């Protein structure tokens, strides 16, 4: 019999699992706390449970672990990148960024990705599989364990499309913000999507308080489609309507992400179109000079041009910032550390 992944059960489900074993409900709370507040990775550690119960648990359940394959510490800024090995041999990456307001972890939601955005390294090998809720959670727990530091913010902006792994992703949000676990405020969590419209609408109705970030990258349907195949499925106007719906239902201001690519989406006509699109919307625009990816031909505009782009939008009344580059010396751009492993050490 396959063992059940105990750290993917939400609190109510875990209580039910314990009751099904003939245990009292409070055991559910004890075990949930061990797993999600203390980040335990074995039943042995759960010293307030009797030995027979721990043995029983280890027969029926498993605590899925991850191996730390690599830890890269940036010399330029307080950023670290981790490559984790999953039990089936897949690898995922997570990034720790230290800010004045606390530590933020960028997690992966899938091993690989099937969205195929032209400038992104994560999609090059396609989708391997969805991550379970426990694999998303463990990225945070493991980083806390390794560094001994507390994490206060989460961004779901690593490899993968969270809304293409919807149930596990929503489960993750509930569990990471649970007060029996790390109790990270949903207001300190941002999830980024390439714009899967039906699931954006569904997310708006979950009653969550997370920030939604939309990967825009093009100022018109035509331009967006050139960079993002998913735009062929959901048009820009549908995506914008879904963003408005998210704001309407949650009261949370949507963030738009725009990777600046030299000669592709950084012209004055892009500024005009972006202004038309975003003007009057209660939103924030984040410009990300594109991280060059070895397998992709795209280049970032020089920093003077990027600042000009920002200033002109600002003058037009758009709430805009350029995202500070982090960890560029540690394979900072999405999916690149994992990618380096996939192609083997020969390229180093």
In the complex, which residues of this chain contact ligand SAH (CB under 6 A)?
Answer: 115, 117, 119-120, 157, 161, 192-194, 215, 257, 259, 288, 290-291, 293, 333-334
Question: CA nearest 255: which of 214, 311, 223, 297?
Answer: 214
Residue with tokens 């391997």: 128
**Closest distance of CB 190 from ligand SAH, Å:** 10
Q: How far is the CB of 121 from ligand SAH (least distance, A)?
A: 6
Cα→Cα distances 337→77, 110, 285, 327, Å: 17, 15, 27, 11
In angstroms, give the least distance from the CB of 162 to ligand SAH: 7
Of 93, 135, 161, 310, the active-site residue reads: 93
Round to whole Å and give the CA distance between 123 and 105.
Answer: 21
Question: How long is the chain?
Answer: 348
* Cβ closest to ligand SAH, residue 63 vs residue 204: 204
Considering the complex, state which of residue 30 and residue 130 has its C-beta at the smaller distance from ligand SAH.
130
- Please check whether residue 211 is in contact with residue 205, taking contact to mean a CB–CB distance below 8 angstroms: no
- Shortest Å distance, C-beta 173 to ligand SAH: 15
Q: How far apart are CA 101 and CA 86, in angstroms?
A: 31
CB 216 to ligand SAH: min, Å: 8
Residue closer to ligand SAH by CB (options 57, 124) is: 124
Quote the radius of gyration of the chain (alpha carbons, Å). Answer: 21
Of residues 18 and 157, the one with the C-beta less far from ligand SAH: 157
Q: Is 44 a catalytic residue?
A: no
Whether 194 is a known active-site residue: answer no
Q: For residues 216 and 193, give the distance between their C-alpha atoms in angstroms, rounded to a whole number.
A: 9
| Cβ(29)–Cβ(11) below 8 Å | yes
Please answer whether residues 196 and 161 qualify as being in contact, where contact means their C-beta atoms are separated by less than 8 angstroms.
yes
Gap between the Cα atoms of 108 and 93, Å rounded: 6
Return the number of the residue (161 or 266) whose C-beta is nearest ligand SAH. 161
To the nearest whole angstrom, how small is the minimum distance from the Cβ of residue 117 to ligand SAH? Answer: 5
Using DSSP's 3-state secondary structure scheme, residue 141 falls into helix
- How many whole angstroms separate alpha carbon 173 and alpha carbon 140? 12
* Active-site option among 106, 117, 194, 334: 334
- In sequence order, what E strands does the chain have? 4-5, 61-62, 67-73, 79-85, 91-99, 102-106, 110-112, 127-130, 153-156, 189-193, 211-215, 254-260, 283-289, 320-322
- Closest contact distance (angstroms) between CB of 217 and ligand SAH is 6
Nearer to ligand SAH, 17 or 257 (CB): 257
Residue 251: partners with Cβ closer than 8 Å, 6 or more residues away: none
Taking the least distance from each CB to ligand SAH, the nearer of 46 and 334 is: 334
Instruction: Report the catalytic residues.
Output: 93, 334
């Amino acid at each position: 019999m396959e063992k059940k992944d105990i750290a993917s059960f939400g609190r109510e489900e875990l209580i039910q699992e314990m009751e099904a074993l003939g245990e009292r409900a409070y055991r559910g709370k004890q075990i949930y706390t061990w797993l999600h507040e203390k980040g335990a990775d074995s039943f042995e550690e759960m010293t307030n449970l009797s030995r027979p119960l721990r043995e029983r648990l280890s027969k029926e359940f498993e605590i899925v672990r991850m191996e730390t394959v690599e830890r890269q510490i940036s010399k330029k800024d307080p950023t670290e990148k981790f490559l984790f090995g999953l039990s089936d041999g897949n690898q995922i990456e997570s990034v720790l960024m230290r800010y004045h307001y606390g530590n933020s972890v960028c997690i992966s939601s899938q091993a690989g990705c099937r969205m195929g955005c032209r400038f992104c390294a994560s999609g090059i090998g396609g989708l391997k599989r969805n991550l379970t809720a426990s694999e998303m959670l463990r990225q945070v727990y493991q980083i806390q364990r390794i560094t001994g530091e507390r994490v206060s913010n989460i961004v779901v902006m690593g490899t993968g499309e969270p809304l293409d792994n919807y149930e596990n992703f929503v489960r993750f949000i509930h569990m990471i913000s649970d007060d029996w676990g790390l109790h990270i405020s949903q207001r300190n969590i941002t999830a980024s999507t390439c714009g899967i419209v039906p699931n954006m609408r569904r997310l708006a109705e979950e009653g969550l308080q997370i920030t939604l970030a939309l990967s825009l990258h093009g100022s018109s349907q035509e331009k967006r489609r050139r960079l993002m195949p998913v735009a062929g499925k959901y048009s820009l106007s549908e995506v914008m309507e879904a963003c408005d719906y998210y704001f309407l239902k949650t009261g949370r201001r949507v963030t738009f992400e725009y990777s600046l690519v030299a000669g592709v989406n950084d012209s004055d006509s892009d500024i005009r179109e972006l202004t038309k699109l975003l003007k009057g919307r209660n939103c924030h625009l984040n410009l990300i000079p594109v991280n060059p990816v070895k397998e992709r031909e795209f280049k970032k505009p020089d920093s003077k041009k990027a600042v000009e782009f920002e200033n002109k939008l600002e003058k037009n009344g758009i709430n805009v910032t350029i995202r500070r580059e982090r960890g560029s010396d540690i394979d900072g751009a999405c999916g690149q550390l994992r990618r380096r492993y996939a192609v083997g050490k020969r390229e180093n």
